[in-house]
Each structure stands twice: as C-alpha cells, then as structure tokens.
C-alpha cells in the first residue's frame, strides 16, 4: 500500500497528528472532521493497513462467518475525501515536544500543533523456550488472525489438538472458534477458573461450564513449565505438575501490555498507562492519549483507570479530538465491554476496582445462561452485566450502575 494517499496539506502548517492506526485513532479523525476542523490531519501507523477494529478477529473471522474486510470501517477513499494524510507501515520512534514534531522509523519528520498518541497494546509473551516456535501464536492483528485461521484449518484436517495458554477473553474466544471448527482444544488456566479476577467465582463458573460442555478440556491451576518443540515446531505444552499436553498449535493468550514507550521516552508522565486528565490530555497540554494506553483520571469513578476494550477506544478517541480542538470535552461514560462465545453473548458495564471483594447479585436463569449480574462493593453497585438478555440489553443495567443504588436492582 502507498505510504501516503497524497492528501493535499500545506507542509508548512502544523496540524493534528495521530500516532496509531487502531480504533481510537480512527475515531479521533472522524470527530475532528465532524467538528468542522479544516486543517491538516496526519495519521502515522506502523501497520501496513488502514485502521481497523479488532473484535471480529477472534470471533466471526475465525468462525468464517465474517470477512477480514469487515474489520475495516473506512476505505482508502474515505481518508482521501477527508483529507487525511496516511503514513502507513511507518512507526513513530520519537516525539520532540519542544519542537512539536515526531520522527518516524523511516526518518520522516511530522510537525504537530496537537498530537494524539493511540498506540494500543501488544500481547504479552511467555519467556519460555519454544514460545517462538512457528506454530505458537498470539492474537493482536490481522496477520495473527490469518495465521490462526490457517492453523485451525490444518488442525481440523489433521485431527491435531490446539493448546491455549490463558483462559482470558482472547483465549476463550479462540477456543470457541476452534471447537466450532471441530478442533480438540485444551485451555490451560493458571487460576481456579477462567476470567476469575474479572467476574468472580459464580460468573466465571458460567464460562467454565460453557466451554467444558462444548468439549474444551479446561485445566485450571495450571502452571505452564515448557513448550516442547521438534524441528522448530511446538509439539506439546508441559505444566509444573508433570503433565504433557499434545499440541499441533499453541495460542498464548495471557494478556496485553500498553505500548507506552514512545510516551515515556518523550518524558510524559506514565504509570501503568499514559496519565491523562478527564479530557485525555497528558502532562503536556499539546499531547493527548486515547484507547488502551490512556490511564485516565475518571470523573465518574473518582480514580485513575486504564481500559483495554473496544468501546473505550471508540469513545475516548472522539473526546480527545474535541479536547485537541480546545473544546471542553470530558469523559462522561463508564467502561463497557462485550464478548461472544458459542451461543453466549455478554455485555458488561462499570468498573470493579482490582482486589475488591464484591458481593455478586445474580438475577434470572443462570443455569440457562440468560441472566443479569451486579457487583456491589461497600453498598454501591459498581458494575453490571447481562448474558443473553437481549430483550432488555445493557441500558437498564447502565442506569443502575450510574445510580450505584442496590435497591434499584430488579
């Protein structure tokens, strides 16, 4: 793909520069133009692709029900029509804050009036021999999804098993897709249940049961000790208790880490993520951060939060864009996320502080997997979710979480 779409911009005029071609960056661009910003916009993205949305990669795309193209919200023409200069396949490697410019790996310099960092996350990897074998995969981008899709096809044809290390969202979604394509799947989860720290024991059990009923071998309390290889290919995963799990392919799904090094190297305040105020402004008033990397002083939650979910990128990008334009834009929404696994669809809203010991209030048919759940900490509803309750959806749950009042639970 061309490194530039040739959008006409005055090279002397510093405009809005967005680093990172994911959802947050793309939504910021949309918002800049819809707010009638008429100056230059440059997108610097290290992937070769136009910006795209990732959720489909672990769901419909692996199932074969949705195309790769469905991940791409806008085509090349849209960027041209909106006069966005695209610098694709090139990585921003330095931010010169006093000089108001960034430098890319290829040596290009791009001046900015305001800069948005939306560099997202990268998968964590295992520091184990064998983790770099050719049939060991992580899942973050379209190339990863292509490889896993091909691996599932190969495993199904050869009758070989997949081992998934980590029973988090990505691991379980890949397990769901692989099982539905008739691949034998083992999930090795370190804790007593998958998703335990996010959902707590009762709701985590719903996901454990869902997967075991669909034929997943779910091994909990598993401490992975090695990946055996033969001629550069993984053949098995071993655990500290001496078990050996035969593997034709291995997926490592042990979480993601925010890509904060560009911000940190530029001297911006960084903790777990890039620190911002409620307007997504970093410690430099001309530099903003959105999506997975932003650690935001959240006005509704009264604490700093960093969220690695689709809706957060979708909603923080536009807030950052309006703040870049000098508007009084602030976050006024709660974290929200969703998953789809087999015939289970789930939506969750709110924020459960790490380490809290919530009471969980379950309503509906938990065994039948159509229910709502609310997390209550110190007498306040802090989060709620529904599973397959599409008649009501997430809106009434959101109202209850915003009110924080357990008496409103119905």
Ligand X SMILES: Cc1cc2nc3c(=O)[nH]c(=O)nc-3n(C[C@H](O)[C@H](O)[C@H](O)COP(=O)(O)OP(=O)(O)OC[C@H]3O[C@@H](n4cnc5c(N)ncnc54)[C@H](O)[C@@H]3O)c2cc1C
Judged by the rule CB under 6 A, the positions of this chain that interact with ligand X are 19-25, 44-47, 54-55, 57-58, 91-92, 118-121, 139-140, 170, 259, 262, 291-292, 308-311, 313, 337-339
Residue 95 CB, shortest distance to ligand X, in Å, is: 9
Select 163 or 290, whichever has its Cβ closest to ligand X. 290
Select 41 or 262, whichever has its Cβ closest to ligand X. 262
Determine the Cα angle at 327 with ends 324 and 332, to 5°: 95
What residues have CB less than 8 Å from 221, skipping those under 6 apart?
189, 190, 191, 192
Residue linked to tokens 């960093």: 306
Residue 406 CB, shortest distance to ligand X, in Å, is: 26
Residue 407 CB, shortest distance to ligand X, in Å, is: 29
Residue linked to tokens 């900015």: 112
Is the distance from CB of 106 to CB of 12 less than 8 angstroms? Answer: no
Select 174 or 236, whichever has its Cβ closest to ligand X. 174
How do 294-298 and 303-306 pair as beta strands?
Answer: antiparallel
Residue 307 CB, shortest distance to ligand X, in Å, is: 7
- Crossing angle of helices 169-180 and 142-158, in 10° steps, is 40
Select 336 or 375, whichever has its Cβ closest to ligand X. 336
Residue 45 CB, shortest distance to ligand X, in Å, is: 5
- Crossing angle of helices 23-34 and 310-324, in 10° steps, is 40
How do 136-137 and 249-252 pair as beta strands?
Answer: parallel
Tell me how far apart the alpha carbons of residues 71 and 101 are, in angstroms, rounded to a whole number: 31
Select 92 or 165, whichever has its Cβ closest to ligand X. 92
Type and span of the H or E element at 318: helix 310-324
Select 19 or 250, whichever has its Cβ closest to ligand X. 19
Residue 68 CB, shortest distance to ligand X, in Å, is: 13
Residue 384 CB, shortest distance to ligand X, in Å, is: 16
Residue 14 CB, shortest distance to ligand X, in Å, is: 18
Residue 85 CB, shortest distance to ligand X, in Å, is: 14
Kindly report the number of other CB atoms within 10 A of residue 380's CB atom: 13
Select 158 or 264, whichever has its Cβ closest to ligand X. 264
- How many residues make up the chain in this entry? 410
Among candidate residues 54, 50, 60, the one with its CA nearest the CA of residue 26: 50
Phi-psi region at 173: left, alpha or beta (left = phi > 0; alpha = psi -120 to 50): alpha
**Main-chain phi, psi angles of 360, to 5 degrees:** -115, 125
Select 193 or 259, whichever has its Cβ closest to ligand X. 259
Select 29 or 381, whichever has its Cβ closest to ligand X. 29
Is the distance from CB of 315 to CB of 280 less than 8 angstroms? Answer: no
Residue 77, token pair as written in the block: 């023409």
Is the distance from CB of 162 to CB of 151 less than 8 angstroms? Answer: yes
């Amino acid at each position: 793909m061309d490194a530039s779409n040739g959008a006409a911009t005055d090279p002397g005029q510093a405009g809005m520069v967005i680093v990172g071609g994911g959802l947050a960056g793309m939504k910021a661009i949309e918002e800049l133009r819809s707010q009638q910003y008429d100056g230059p916009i440059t997108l610097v993205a290290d992937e070769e692709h136009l910006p795209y949305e990732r959720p489909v990669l672990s769901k419909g795309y692996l199932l074969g029900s949705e195309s790769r193209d469905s991940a791409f919200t806008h085509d090349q023409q849209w960027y041209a029509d909106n006069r966005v200069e695209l610098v694709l396949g090139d990585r921003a490697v330095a931010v010169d804050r006093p000089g108001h410019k960034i430098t890319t790996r290829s040596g290009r310099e791009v001046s900015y009036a305001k800069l948005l960092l939306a560099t997202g996350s990268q998968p964590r990897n295992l520091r184990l021999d064998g983790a770099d074998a050719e049939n060991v995969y992580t899942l973050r981008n379209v190339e990863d999804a292509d490889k896993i899709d091909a691996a599932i096809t190969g495993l199904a044809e050869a009758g070989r098993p997949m081992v998934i290390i980590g029973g988090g969202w990505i691991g379980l979604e890949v397990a769901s897709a692989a099982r539905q394509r008739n691949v034998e799947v083992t999930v090795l989860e370190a804790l007593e249940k998958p998703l335990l720290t996010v959902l707590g024991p009762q709701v985590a059990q719903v996901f454990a049961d869902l997967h075991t009923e669909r034929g997943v071998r779910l091994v909990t309390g598993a401490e992975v000790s090695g990946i055996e290889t033969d001629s550069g290919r993984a053949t098995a995963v071993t655990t500290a208790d001496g078990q050996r799990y035969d593997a034709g392919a291995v997926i490592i799904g042990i979480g993601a880490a925010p890509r904060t090094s560009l911000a940190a190297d530029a001297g911006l305040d960084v903790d777990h993520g890039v620190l911002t105020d409620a307007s997504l402004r970093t410690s430099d008033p001309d530099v903003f951060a959105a999506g997975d990397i932003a650690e935001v002083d959240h006005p509704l939650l009264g604490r700093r939060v960093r969220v690695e979910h689709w809706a957060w990128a979708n909603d923080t990008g536009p807030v950052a864009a309006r703040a870049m334009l000098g508007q009084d834009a602030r976050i006024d929404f709660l974290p929200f996320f969703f998953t789809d696994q087999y015939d289970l669809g789930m939506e969750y809203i709110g924020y459960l502080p790490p380490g809290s010991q919530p009471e969980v209030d379950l309503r509906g048919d938990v065994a039948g997997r159509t229910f709502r759940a609310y997390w209550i900490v110190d007498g306040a509803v802090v989060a709620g979710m529904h599973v397959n309750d599409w008649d009501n959806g997430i809106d009434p749950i959101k109202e209850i979480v915003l009110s924080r009042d357990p008496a409103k639970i119905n």
